[in-house]
Amino acid sequence: MSLKRVELIDISKSYDKQSNVISNINVTIEPGEFFVLVGPSGCGKSTMLRMIAGLEDITGGTLKIGDTEVNDLPPSKRDLSMVFQNYALYPHLTVEENIQFGLHVKKIDKKERAKRTSEVAAMLGLTEYLKRKPRELSGGQRQRVALARAIVNEAPICLMDEPLSNLDAKLRAHMRSEIRQIQRRLGITMIYVTHDQIEAMTMGDRIMILHEGSIQQIGKPIDIYNNPANPFVATFIGSPPMNLASGVGDNLTSTIRLNDSILIPVPTVDAHFLTERVIVGIRPEHIKAATKETEEKDKFVVEVSNVEILGNETIFTFLLNEESWQVKWSGQWQIEIGDKIPLMMNYESFCFFNSETKEIMKTPSDVENHVFGKEVFV
């Protein structure tokens, strides 16, 4: 199996030859990489995957797999495998026949077929179900069969279109790590489509966030979390999403005003952020409880409108300029709806976005990034 990179150069897609549903996609997916396409429904992520697979025509740009341009190659010549959202198992064939289907078509000899099937079945724990029909399997087992069918081909590139969305939450979490492990073990290039930002964050080596057919940001999950390129990414990645509000910069007092009680003091080195309008963002976990030591000017009091206690963390909501903001603290906090809570926010934790271009101007410098020593001392 030779590893191949997938290169998208100026890819665009149009159904009516007038407006593009996808435009200006430029990205190179490295060999052996787990690459996640993520975005809200209708953002064009599935269309993009289907263009890579060859199931949709590419109306503009070049798609390269390895060093060859594959725009006009049929799906079977692109040397890839694909897992579909509804699994697309052949209902009239047994699990074994389903797994072997592609090998059969490629006229691989019987011995090799049986060998590969039993290997893959063992890897995915399907050995005892080989003689069953798909309808006799549970959702999770069908999912495994679909996975087995994709990897048995030993194609260097595997495409997945929301493969976990039909599973329950517990099984989904389990399959996330299983798919990740299989991908690492086989070293295949994985292109994975999902609308679930948790899947994107936990599985991807790199993720690409799409919105309305254009790239919002590409990067490592943690970099995207820490340095979102624009307010869309900031609210899409992370749960609960980043809190956003529009602020007014004031050069005289060197502050950004969110409302009557919240003024953010801006250091003189950052004076260029003091524009008339600026979008201010802060992650829910960066809003702290004010303590006795907190200076009065940094403190602000909010009224709690909703509380969720999740066992190991507590999320509560308050209203700021009619936007609901959320705060996430670890541990269990006895907070009731209607309570007035004094809070504080560090200047280092804020994101500022340009209100015109929506581009990020200031990234948070204090992200509570802890480095754990590589060496362990006993």
Partner 1 sequence: MRLWKKLVLYFLLIITSLILFFPIIYAFMISFMTGGEILSGKLLPSTFSLDNYVKVFERLPLFNYLINSFVVSLGVMLGQLVVCSLAAYAFVFIPFKGRDFIFFLFISTMMIPWEATMIPNFFTIQKLDWINTYQGMTLPFFALAFGTFLLRQHFKTIPKELHEASQIAGLSKFGFFFRVVLPVSKTSLVTLGAYGFLTTWNMYLWPLLVTTNNSVRTVQIGLKQLQSQEVATEWGVVMAGVIVVIIPTLLLLFLGQKQLQKGLTQGALK
Provide the binding-site residues for partner 1, judged by CB under 8 A.
Answer: 50, 53-55, 74-77, 80-82, 84-92, 101-102, 105-106, 134-135, 142, 166
Q: Phi and psi at residue 64, in whole multiples of 5°?
A: -120, 135
According to DSSP H, which parts of 219-342 are helical?
A: 221-226, 231-236
Output the smallest distance, CB 145 to partner 1, in A.
12
Task: Report whether 5 contacts 66 (CB < 8 A).
Answer: yes
Output the smallest distance, CB 76 to partner 1, in A.
3
374 Cβ neighbours under 8 A, 6+ residues apart: none
Q: Using the 8-state DSSP alphabet, how is residue 30 labeled?
A: P
Closer residue to partner 1, CB minimum distance, 98 or 197:
98
Output the smallest distance, CB 84 to partner 1, in A.
4
Task: Report whether 300 contacts 344 (CB < 8 A).
Answer: yes
Output the smallest distance, CB 166 to partner 1, in A.
8
Output the smallest distance, CB 67 to partner 1, in A.
22
According to DSSP H, which parts of 5-138 are helical?
A: 45-53, 95-105, 110-123
Counted residue by residue, the chain has a size of 378
Closer residue to partner 1, CB minimum distance, 25 or 103:
103
The torsion angle over the Cα atoms of residues 50, 55, 59 and 65, rounded to 10 degrees, is 70
Output the smallest distance, CB 61 to partner 1, in A.
22
Closer residue to partner 1, CB minimum distance, 92 or 297:
92
Q: Using the 8-state DSSP alphabet, how is residue 252 labeled?
A: T
The torsion angle over the Cα atoms of residues 341, 345, 349 and 355, rounded to 10 degrees, is 100
Closer residue to partner 1, CB minimum distance, 154 or 205:
154
**3-state DSSP helix/strand/coil percent for the chain, to nearest 5?**
30, 30, 40
Tokens of 198: 């948790």
Output the smallest distance, CB 122 to partner 1, in A.
22
Q: What is the largest CA-CA distance in the chain?
A: 81
Closer residue to partner 1, CB minimum distance, 48 or 278:
48
Closer residue to partner 1, CB minimum distance, 106 or 185:
106
For residues 375 and 288, give the distance between their C-alpha atoms in angstroms, rounded to a whole number: 32
Closer residue to partner 1, CB minimum distance, 76 or 306:
76
Closer residue to partner 1, CB minimum distance, 84 or 333:
84
DSSP characters over 335-350:
--TT-EEEEEE-GGG-
Output the smallest distance, CB 113 to partner 1, in A.
13
**Token pair 């950052």: residue:** 270
Output the smallest distance, CB 75 to partner 1, in A.
5
Closer residue to partner 1, CB minimum distance, 86 or 321:
86
Task: Report whether 331 contacts 312 (CB < 8 A).
Answer: yes
